[in-house]
Amino acid sequence: MKKELTRRQYLDLYYYMRLNRAVEDTMVKLFRQNKIVGGLYSSLGQEAISVGSAYALEKKDWLAPMIRNIGALLVKGVPPRDIFMQHMAKYDSPTKGKDGTSHFGDLDNLHIVSPISMLGDLIPVMTGVAMAGRYLGQKIVTMTWIGDGGSSTGVFHEGLNFAAAQKAPFVLILENNLWAYSTPVGKQVPLKNLADRAKAYGIDSYIVDGNDVVAMYSTAKEAVERARSGEGPILIEAKTFRRLGHAQHDPAEYVPEQMRAYWEAHDPIALYEKYLTSEKLLDAEGKKEIEDKIGGLLAKEREFAENSPMPPAELAEAGVYCTGEDCHKIRAKWERPIAEVTPPKSSVAAVWTVPGFGPGKGSGGADAPIHFGDAPPAVEKGASERKPSAKIAAKVAAKKTVKAAAASASRKARR
């Protein structure tokens, strides 16, 4: 189902894709000037996935990006200077210079969970965030991304099964970019469509052209709405291509030239620009206006980042351990009466009644799920007393007789 967008929304998608690419181009220059201290990972050719899917979320929703989802950070409201400073390990960066890549989040304002290097682990984490939001009555949806290679990890399957069993309001974007580092998909997954993996967990999935930002947005928007309405998690496979190597150090010589040429001809920004022009949503003047806006913004953001100091040496010992109130003051944001999920309204007797047996008493005197012992069945709360059947009563009486006889014989033997 296609979603009709306003002119502003069409141009927003274009702006964020262009900003995504411009931010990464700027970081390549910084990297070559030895101003970036860690690794640098590119999303060249995949901008439509990050931008289109994140644009489908509401402000209150949560996301957890991977290293190639800078576009999602920009859509969520992260300023480019934070991304620059984070990679440059500057003092004014979100982590105060303690991490040289994109491992940062914003739990208070933007609802961003930091990336996790162990691929797949964000799936159970974001499932937990989704469940917490539901418990608090926030009506949120959570979203994260995973690559084709990451979909073969154990935690991908454990996490997706967990989300499915809990019907969590969670959307997973599976970026099938054809290469898990230097391993082609066909060498590690015996499936044509990775979306088929959702079938094992009884959840729905979509397959979308990851280089079509409108299709990406429309699909993600529908998935988000379904998840929010209580239909449970949904997986979206976005078919695309990673046009650069795993990181700056990887020339990706393993990629066939013919494959690279095909996908370069299907650049998501070029395709979208052509569409906007044909629909008279963008002209030369509008394009230049956006380019000037991005150029001016990044010049200021880069200048700020480069002028930010490196962290002082004494900071190294600070913030290693969370010490409570002086570390963070994040509190649960209740959007429903707490009484709904706390006793006595939420109390449920921990008794499992099995037809033919009923509840009983365990050795500790508490309710036991199934009565197999020699104590008579207990009375269930709110129910009339149930007398044991004649057969059960006879067995209990027989056991007591045997025990009494044994005790009597023991006493006589001691005499």
pLDDT tens-digit profile of 52-70? 999 999 999 999 999 999 9
Nearest to 159 by CA among 146, 148, 149: 146
In DSSP notation, 265-313 reads TT-HHHHHHHHHHHTTS--HHHHHHHHHHHHHHHHHHHHHHHHSPPPPG
Decide: residue 132, CB within 10 A, 0-12 exposed, 13-18 middle, 19+ buried.
Answer: middle
391 token code pair: 């057969």
Q: Does residue 312 have a cis peptide bond before it, meaning omega lies within 30 degrees of 0? A: no
- pLDDT for position 384: 47
pTM of the model: 0.81
What is the mean pLDDT of the segment spanning 17-39? 95
Least confident of 193-197, 201-205, 314-318, 359-363: 359-363
Virtual torsion, Cα 257, 260, 266, 269, nearest 10 deg: -130
Q: Element (H or E) spanning 361, and its range?
A: strand 360-361
Detail the DSSP E strand segments found in 140-265: 142-147, 170-176, 179-180, 183-184, 204-209, 234-239
Give the neighbor-by-neighbor strand order of the sheet with 142-147. 62-64, 142-147, 170-176, 234-239, 204-209
Pairing relationship of beta strands 142-147 and 62-64 according to DSSP bridges = parallel
- pLDDT for position 321: 84
pLDDT of 260 higher than 80? yes
Position with higher pLDDT, 339 vs 236? 236
Q: What is the pLDDT of residues 120-166, one digit of tens each?
A: 999 999 999 999 999 999 999 999 999 999 999 999 999 999 999 99
Where does the pLDDT of residue 363 fall: very low under 50, low under 70, confident under 90, or very high at 90 and above? low
CB atoms within 10 A of CB 101: 19
- pLDDT for position 330: 74
Where does the pLDDT of residue 339 fall: very low under 50, low under 70, confident under 90, or very high at 90 and above? confident
Position with higher pLDDT, 351 vs 35? 35
Nearest to 26 by CA among 401, 339, 301, 278: 301
Instruction: Identify the three-state secondary structure at position 236.
Output: strand
Q: Element (H or E) spanning 368, and its range?
A: strand 367-368
Nearest to 291 by CA among 30, 28, 41, 21: 21
Distances (CA, A) of 161 to 42, 164, 187, 200, 260: 30, 5, 24, 8, 35
Detail the DSSP E strand segments found in 155-290: 170-176, 179-180, 183-184, 204-209, 234-239
Q: Is the Cα torsion angle 90, 93, 98, 99 positive or negative in sign?
A: negative
Where does the pLDDT of residue 391 fall: very low under 50, low under 70, confident under 90, or very high at 90 and above? low
Q: Element (H or E) spanning 139, and its range?
A: none
pLDDT of 256 higher than 60? yes
Say if CB 16 and CB 75 are below 8 A apart.
Answer: yes
- pLDDT for position 99: 84
- pLDDT for position 328: 73
- What distance in Å separates the CA atoms of residue 189 and residue 148, rounded to the nearest whole number? 8
- pLDDT for position 153: 95
- Angle, helices 213-226 vs 47-54, to 10°: value is 40
Position with higher pLDDT, 13 vs 321? 13
CB atoms within 10 A of CB 347: 8
23 token code pair: 């931010």
- What distance in Å separates the CA atoms of residue 28 and residue 42, rounded to the nearest whole number? 9
- pLDDT for position 340: 86
Q: Element (H or E) spanning 367, and its range?
A: strand 367-368
Q: Which residue has the tokens 């480069």?
A: 306
- pLDDT for position 252: 86
- What distance in Å separates the CA atoms of residue 2 and residue 209, rounded to the nearest whole number? 13
Mean per-residue pLDDT of the chain: 88
Pairing relationship of beta strands 204-209 and 234-239 according to DSSP bridges = parallel
Least confident of 34-48, 55-69, 237-251, 356-370: 356-370
CB atoms within 10 A of CB 251: 9
Say if CB 55 and CB 12 are below 8 A apart.
Answer: yes
Q: What is the pLDDT of residues 317-330, one digit of tens each?
A: 888 888 777 777 77
Number of H helices, E strands in the chain: 11, 9
**Side chain identity at residue 361, one-letter code:** K
- What distance in Å separates the CA atoms of residue 274 and residue 161, rounded to the nearest whole number? 41
Nearest to 13 by CA among 45, 41, 62, 55: 55
Where does the pLDDT of residue 332 fall: very low under 50, low under 70, confident under 90, or very high at 90 and above? confident
